[in-house]
């Protein structure tokens, strides 16, 4: 059941990224598979950042620092995943839209899911 929960979480995250790609200018995703890999890369980078700097300085954290780190993680992830193109403004807008969507569809962090 835990594995299935992670799969569902990444599929939902990929769908959210596709929606964000449709809404946000300067943020484009090549398709569902690119979005799924992007969701995985964002989660992995966020997990590493959370492990190094703590929960306050993560894409999953709240506040301005979490927002800026989220935008930075989205911008960096474009260099890892093919089919993704994000400008700095697009990353900021995407982080804002993802934060708003997260208010309605909260997704647990990798550390919270492991507990």
Q: What percent of the chain has pLDDT over 70?
A: 83
Tokens of 13: 């995250």
Cα–Cα distance list, 27 to 51, 82, 103 (Å): 27, 13, 21
Question: What per-residue confidence (pLDDT) applies to 76?
Answer: 93
The HSE-up count of residue 65 (CA atoms within 13 Å, CB side) is: 9
The mean pLDDT value of the chain amounts to 81
CB within 8 Å of 113: residues ≥ 6 apart:
2, 5, 6, 9
Identify the three-state secondary structure at position 103. helix
Residue 85 has pLDDT above 90, yes or no: yes
- Write down the pTM of the prediction: 0.79
Mean pLDDT of 97-108: 72
């Amino acid at each position: 059941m835990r594995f299935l929960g992670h799969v569902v979480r990444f599929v939902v995250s990929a769908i959210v990224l596709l929606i964000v790609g449709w809404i946000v200018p300067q943020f484009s995703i090549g398709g569902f598979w690119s979005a799924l890999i992007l969701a995985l890369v964002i989660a992995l980078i966020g997990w590493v950042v959370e492990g190094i700097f703590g929960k306050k300085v993560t894409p999953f954290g709240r506040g301005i620092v979490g927002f800026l780190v989220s935008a930075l993680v989205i911008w960096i992830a474009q260099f890892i995943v093919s089919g993704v193109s994000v400008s700095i403004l697009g990353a900021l807008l995407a982080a804002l839209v993802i934060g708003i969507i997260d208010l309605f569809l909260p997704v647990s962090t990798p550390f919270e899911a492991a507990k």
